[in-house]
Amino acid sequence: MLLPSLSLVALLTGLAYATPTPAPSMYVHAQRTRPARGFVALSTASSDHLLDMRIHLAQRDPAGLRAVLDAVSDPSHPQYGQYLSRAQVESFTRPTDETRNAVNNWLATHGLNATDASSAGDWIAVQVPASVANTMLGAEYTLFAHERSNSTLVRTLSYSLPLSLQGHVKTVWPGTSCQSSNPAPQPTSAPAPQIPAPTPGKTDASCKNTVTPKCLQQLYQIPTTRAKVASNKIGVTAYINQFGQKSDLRSFLQQFRPDIDDSNTGFNTQSIDGGVNPQGSGSAGVEANLDLQYTIGLATGVPTTFITVGNQGRNGFLDTITQLLASDSPPQVLTTSYGQSEDDVAPQDAEAMCNAYMQLGARGVSILFASGDSGVGDSNDECKRDGKFQPTFPAGCPFLTAVGSTDGIAPERGASFSSGGFSELFAQPSYQSAHIATFLSRSSVPASSGRFNPSGRAFPDVSTLGTRFAVINAGRTTGVQGTSASSPVFASIIALLNDERAQRGMPPLGFLNPWLYGKASGAFMDVVEGNNPGCGTDGFEAAKGWDPVTGLGTPSYPALRVAAGLA
């Protein structure tokens, strides 16, 4: 659909900015003064428009679960690697009867009956007409359009809850978040054992122009032998109609991994929210093909699941994680190459999703996200309205590993597009505080500049090469760049380490960051050149040690092997 003219937009957005006043017995639970960047208000939502509402109930003991995650993820802790089962995690996240009764009674007064939307029952689902939602939430649900994509969604700038629900409800979705998930790839023209000093492997001369699995195997010394443990799996997520093509994968393996049997190498498909994966050149998606070709092409023999998420207007990230939490055997590694500006996500929604990643981490799952492709800005190279750099989400969540990008070989440089910085929503976790303090003491952008939150969760955590990747898409070889190329690379390395550990009866690496910033911090090749410009600035500069362009640096598989107890 076409967007309204600017004059009409001005009239309509004035309507959307009028925030309802909560009744005396209610309190404002979430509010924003303006629509998220890139969105304009079109009209008040039709009274009979059905909202697929999700309500996140307060969990029984999230602090206790966080303590368990810290213990099982810390290599120096006696409980390291002693991950929880699904039932054990749910004993922390299941709401109390008091909370469930309070929320269900409130819904009943509006003629509504909810069903569980998560295995633990901490998320419930109910279909609500917009007119009813406006009444029960003191809201004004409005139809918004995204200026660049023309996609529309129904959201509100404010909603309220009864005072009786304080402490019982964490967030309501859809509410004030305006997610516009964007894929990152950009098509281009083409006393443990001593960790050995990480050094890059020698690469073919052609790798300077075109990156293939062989180049990455050479550079990071990734083994080419086939994995052996069938229960060790990797998951690759796909959103916004990105479909992975089996014929393109077969051609890719024949051309770039002729040493493995392509007829016995493929992927399983898991559908969420009605996701599909049609085949044929007309359905080819460069993002999906990139992610699949480089996980399967690098994590040789590791069983791969392609998780395709439909576009039913729901929160794809949330639905993905709740589905995986309901599984007794989720993949041990999950890589995602999508994200958005942190400012577009309501703090309550961001916290709920981030805590869901914490739950998977407690079960021994390594979650990796591409850090983003906009340097210190966002996809429109716009700063936040207060002039601060714009962090990305979910990369700024402290319970996952964010992967940035480098460019070039010998030496690698921080890629100019590699998103990195400091979260405005999440506090800096202790596992990285010493590294961040060192960076801040010599940063070219001082903490006093006001452009970023020096106390926030810092990202990315690590990086890999992310430019000039050869991908076969719709039968043709094309070049791709972006942090979405880097996340599958590092995910593949972790999957191979997990395979080696499983062969020795050891648990998977699980939530990686305490290990990465601690025992494994010396297993990365430091990247000291490059910067990530945005917002009309040069952004941050790569520096010795951790930096917001490349994190801890790029991986050395032999050194990581030692850090993982495989020497």
Q: Where exactly are the structural domains of the chain?
A: 6-59+94-178, 228-563
What pLDDT, in 10s, does the model give residues 466-495? Answer: 999 999 999 999 999 999 999 999 999 999
The per-residue pLDDT for 159 is: 94
Catalytic residue among 73, 177, 484, 487: 484
- Closest by Cα among 311, 313, 149, 312 to 240: 311
pLDDT-based confidence at residue 384 (cuts at 50, 70, 90): low
SS3 assignment for 239-252: CCCCECCHHHHHHH
CA distance 272 to 312: 10
What percent of the chain is modeled with pLDDT above 90? 78
Residue 171 pLDDT greater than 90, yes or no: yes
CA dihedral of 360, 362, 368, 369, whole degrees rounded to 10: 60
Distances (CA, A) of 327 to 67, 363, 526, 567: 23, 11, 38, 33
Q: Give the end-to-end CA distance of the chain in Å, rounded to a whole number.
A: 59
Residue 556 pLDDT greater than 60, yes or no: yes
Query: Token digits for 151?
Result: 């996609």
What pLDDT, in 10s, does the model give residues 10-57? Answer: 222 333 344 555 565 999 999 998 888 778 889 999 999 999 999 999
Per DSSP, the three-state class of 340 is strand
The per-residue pLDDT for 147 is: 79
- Closest by Cα among 298, 169, 328, 310 to 237: 310
What pLDDT, in 10s, does the model give residues 191-238? Answer: 444 556 677 778 888 999 999 999 999 999 999 999 999 999 999 999
Residue 545 is labelled as binding a ligand: yes
Q: Which residue do the tokens 């005072």 mark?
A: 163
Let me know if 52 is a catalytic residue. no
Residue 187 pLDDT greater than 70, yes or no: no
Q: Could you tell me which residues come within 8 angstroms of residue 441 by beta carbon, excluding any fewer than 6 positions away?
A: none
Let me know if 119 is a catalytic residue. no
The per-residue pLDDT for 24 is: 59
The per-residue pLDDT for 4 is: 29
What percent of the chain is modeled with pLDDT above 70? 91
Catalytic residue among 74, 248, 291, 351: 291
Residue 184 pLDDT greater than 70, yes or no: no
Q: Mean pLDDT over residues 529-536, rounded?
A: 94
Q: Which CATH architecture has domain 228-563?
A: 3-Layer(aba) Sandwich (3.40)
What pLDDT, in 10s, does the model give residues 110-137? Answer: 999 999 999 999 999 999 999 999 999 9
What pLDDT, in 10s, does the model give residues 441-470? Answer: 999 899 989 999 999 999 999 999 999 999
Q: Mean pLDDT over residues 525-532, rounded?
A: 97
Residue 526 is labelled as binding a ligand: yes
Q: Mean pLDDT over residues 80-91, rounded?
A: 98
Q: Which of 363-367, 381-385, 396-400 is predicted least confidently?
A: 381-385
Catalytic residue among 74, 273, 287, 378: 287
Per DSSP, the three-state class of 533 is coil
pLDDT-based confidence at residue 8 (cuts at 50, 70, 90): very low
Residue 551 pLDDT greater than 80, yes or no: yes
Q: Which residues on neighbouring strands pair with residue 182, listed in sequence order?
A: 339
Residue 527 is labelled as binding a ligand: yes
- Closest by Cα among 429, 438, 440, 441 to 401: 429
When the pLDDT of each residue in the chain is averaged and rounded to a whole number, the result is 90
Residue 366 pLDDT greater than 90, yes or no: yes
Burial label, 459 (beta-carbon count in 10 A; 0-12, 13-18, 19+): buried
Residue 302 is labelled as binding a ligand: no
Per DSSP, the three-state class of 21 is coil
Burial label, 49 (beta-carbon count in 10 A; 0-12, 13-18, 19+): middle
- Rounded to 5 degrees, what are φ and ψ at 107? -65, -40
pTM: 0.91
Q: Which amino acid is at 265?
A: T
Is the CB of residue 270 less than 8 Å from the CB of residue 496?
no
Per DSSP, the three-state class of 433 is helix
Per DSSP, the three-state class of 334 is strand
Let me know if 61 is a catalytic residue. no
Residue 274 pLDDT greater than 50, yes or no: yes
Q: Mean pLDDT over residues 161-177, rounded?
A: 95
